[in-house]
A and B are shown apart, each in its own frame.
Chain A
Amino acid sequence: MRIALVSFAHVHAQSYARVLTELEKDGIAEMCAVCDDDSRRLALARERFESKKLYSDIEELARDPDVDAAIVTSENTKRAGLAISLLNAGKHVLAEKPISSKVPDAVRMVQLASENGLTLGTAFPMRHHDAPQSMKRVLSDLGGIRSISSANPGRFPGLWFADPGASGGGAIMDHTVHVADLARWFSGREFSEVYALRGRSVAGEGSGEGSGLVLCKLEDDTPVSVDCSWSRLAGWPTWGNVFVSACAEKGAAVLSAFNENLWTVVQGSYKWSYYGPDADKKMILDFVRAVEKHSQALATGTDGLRALEVVAAAYESIKRQRPVKISEIRGSGSY
């Protein structure tokens, strides 16, 4: 299977490129092309992936018959446009999270994929990390989930992430979806309502919020909280973590997904060096298998859309200073 990497704008593209290189060595998939609308990034890709085809225009890539599928790791606000071009041309797509910055665009992506019989996956690597996978199994034996408290604190990623024009927001747009998706996946229930607060923007780095506290209810009123803040300051020994604590009828499970680290001092500074599971690799493998089998990825486009609805409701709640129902976000659109 031949996969194109579309845009190196998102920091996760580096890890996906690494995975694709590994899959190529294993003879599982081939990274056949790179497309980037930024000439500086494209020049870097040219140095790094000499043998690959390079495109600056998505329409040209979409016309390339040698491309079966693409991973779209652009800025959030560009993702839907790129994905729609690819889906229109019959390419399977794995979309970086959030699937898009706008709900109607995500709806369009999901519809197109289904109309054209294509696999559309959302890059939710947490579903492929072994600890949450175990947690899902454990929770299924503990009776109904009563409450979920979660956090995805991270370092401010820099670049365009706090520029709403490119990111669609700030920390809420960037980090809510991973843990919101886990809550949906663990509980098997949909979100119904959201109340949120935003924290100040990261000084001098655009107007996107630097932190967010998102309180959600599932359809049966189960409370789910999400801290999506860029709250790991420079000097913190690692990028961040993913925490999910779930209380259920017969017990509780507490996840700290990125706790497997060496505590190191390298060149005089204290750093955590991760040696935990390679969730990105398992996620891309799952996508490859899904395309090969004409089936769905573990995290589908619809899963991406549902998580994005929580984000949209959070922003709406901040604007209106009241809880917002997911149905208000969907409006009259039926999907």
Chain B
Amino acid sequence: MERLAVGLIGCGTLSSYAHGPALRKLERMYEFRAIADIDPITLNAFSKRFGVDRKYTDYKEMISSEDLDIAIVATPTPTHEEIGLYVLNHGVNLFMEKPFALTLEGARNMIEASERQGRALQVGHCVRFWPGYVQIKEQMSNGDYGEPLLAKAHRWGTMPAPLWYRDPAQSNGVGLDVAIHDLDYLRWLIGEPKSVYAQGRFEGKLPMTVQAVLEFEGDAIAYIDASWDFPPSWRFATFFEIIGTKGMAQMDSRESTTLEVYTGHTSSASSPREDDAYTRQLAAFWEPARGGKPVLPATDSYKSLELALALNKSLNGAGRVELKREIAQ
């Protein structure tokens, strides 16, 4: 198997629990060659933890000095467009974290750069690789549930620690940052929605809780509930339910813990696995990065961004938003 050289830009929260461990598991596919982060403390800690010696505080220097096949970008959302364009324009395949960009224009620019340069571009919609969600998609495709009628998705957590999330101009709040996961998944599972309506709870101008309902072509309706309003003692939780004409499925992360650990005054609960979603999604980028067919085309992720922005528009007082079929080519 040809090993592709990977550089990671942004060694923060997500990279520490997702991309770092995934790259270590995928040694046969990827050489974890170099890392970049503007914060030297974060950079050094990550370097030590994952044993990557080649490190840069300037990602541009990494791109020009290292002969990378792939750059993974896991920096704060407002930097996605600039960094993504730089990566693509230097002929490097791009794995971009979700949300794709803060604006549709930003996403479109990256798609154009990837086409112009003939480089692969995949957005980190990890839920499409999450084992339970994948299984629901498979059973749906099998016709086990019949025609979809009702779907529900919860994604409940606490306010993320990095400060940029608290600035509405940088993160756009829980709708763009969190609800986009389920919007993307619902598009994959059911199809394109016709309308979206959202309401929520704001901290100043920052959406902290989003409750949204969607209508799809056909008979399906869906509910999405994403929140950062839970207190620090809360354990992140997801819930998904699909009801069809012939059957149904439901899953709840709180009901699917496989390991509980108790030490002194703290405890943890998790469902560890070698082939977790973050590992699967990076493994799926190997073929496209070698010129193969995209597993998750960026044009598809563009539509999820479009939908998330429509949700935000409704959330900010636009009421019911009708969605037109505007397909990015």
Report A's interface with B, CB cutoff 8 A. 146-147, 149, 151, 195-200, 203, 210-211, 213, 215, 217, 222-223, 225, 227, 229, 231, 233, 236, 245, 247, 250-252, 321-323
Q: How far is the CA of A151 from the CA of B197 in the complex (A)?
A: 18
Closest to A247 in B: B229
Q: Which residues of B in the span 142-179 have a Cβ within 8 Å of any Cβ on A?
A: 149-150, 152, 154, 156
Residues of chain B within 8 A (CB-CB) of A236 are: 248
Q: How far is the CA of A225 from the CA of B215 in the complex (A)?
A: 16
Closest 4 CB pairs of A and B: A247-B229, A225-B211, A147-B209, A200-B219
Closest to A229 in B: B150
Residues of chain A within 8 A (CB-CB) of B150 are: 199, 211, 213, 229, 231
B320 at the interface (CB under 8 A from A): yes
Q: Min CB distance, A223 to chain B, in Å?
A: 5
The stretch of B93-101, B239-247, B282-290, B304-312 in contact with A is B239-247
Closest to B225 in A: A149
Contact A231 B209 (CB under 8 A): no
Contact A195 B209 (CB under 8 A): no
Q: How far is the CA of A323 from the CA of B318 in the complex (A)?
A: 11
Closest to B210 in A: A223
Contact B221 A231 (CB under 8 A): no
Known: A197-B221, A231-B150, A231-B248. A223 touches B319 (CB 8 A): no
Interface size on B, residues (CB 8 A): 35
Q: Which of B227, B241, B248 contacts A247 (CB under 8 A)? A: B227
Contact A199 B149 (CB under 8 A): yes
Task: Name the residue among B199, B201, B213, B233 with the largest chain A CB count within 10 angstroms.
Answer: B199
Q: How far is the CA of A53 from the CA of B197 in the complex (A)?
A: 53
Residues of chain B within 8 A (CB-CB) of A223 are: 199-201, 209, 211
Q: How far is the CA of A215 from the CA of B215 in the complex (A)?
A: 14
Known: A213-B221, A227-B223. 19 other contacts (CB 8 A): A146-B208, A147-B200, A149-B211, A195-B197, A195-B319, A196-B213, A197-B215, A197-B221, A199-B149, A199-B220, A200-B219, A210-B149, A215-B197, A223-B199, A223-B200, A231-B243, A247-B227, A247-B229, A252-B231
Residues of chain A within 8 A (CB-CB) of B154 are: 149
Q: Which residues of B in the span 215-269 have a Cβ within 8 Å of any Cβ on A?
A: 215, 219-223, 225, 227, 229-231, 233-234, 241, 243, 245, 247-248
Contact B209 A146 (CB under 8 A): yes
Report B's interface with A, CB cutoff 8 A. 149-150, 152, 154, 156, 195, 197, 199-201, 208-209, 211-213, 215, 219-223, 225, 227, 229-231, 233-234, 241, 243, 245, 247-248, 319-320
Q: Min CB distance, B231 to chain A, in Å?
A: 5
Contact A322 B152 (CB under 8 A): no
User: Could you pull out 17 A-B pairs where Cβ atoms are within 8 angstroms?
Assistant: A147-B229, A195-B213, A197-B215, A199-B149, A203-B245, A211-B149, A213-B221, A213-B223, A215-B212, A223-B201, A227-B223, A233-B247, A247-B227, A247-B229, A247-B230, A252-B231, A321-B195
Q: How far is the CA of A222 from the CA of B211 in the complex (A)?
A: 11
Closest to B233 in A: A251
Q: How far is the CA of A245 from the CA of B248 in the complex (A)?
A: 23
Residues of chain A within 8 A (CB-CB) of B245 are: 203
Known: A247-B229, A323-B319. A225 touches B223 (CB 8 A): yes
Contact A233 B248 (CB under 8 A): yes
Q: Which of B156, B199, B227, B229 contacts A215 (CB under 8 A)? A: B199
Contact A252 B199 (CB under 8 A): no
Contact B227 A195 (CB under 8 A): no
Q: Which of A195, A211, A233, A247 contacts B221 (CB under 8 A)? A: A211
Closest to B314 in A: A195
Q: Which of B201, B212, B223 contacts A146 (CB under 8 A)? A: B201
Q: Which of A151, A199, A225, A321 contacts B320 (CB under 8 A)? A: A321
Residues of chain A within 8 A (CB-CB) of B199 are: 195, 215, 217, 223
Q: How far is the CA of A229 from the CA of B223 in the complex (A)?
A: 12
Q: How far is the CA of A321 from the CA of B212 in the complex (A)?
A: 14
Residues of chain B within 8 A (CB-CB) of A197 are: 197, 213, 215, 221
Residues of chain A within 8 A (CB-CB) of B231 are: 250-252
Q: How far is the CA of A233 from the CA of B213 in the complex (A)?
A: 22
Residues of chain A within 8 A (CB-CB) of B319 are: 195, 322-323
Residues of chain A within 8 A (CB-CB) of B197 are: 195, 197, 215, 323
Q: How far is the CA of A210 from the CA of B243 in the complex (A)?
A: 11
Q: How far is the CA of A200 from the CA of B223 in the complex (A)?
A: 15
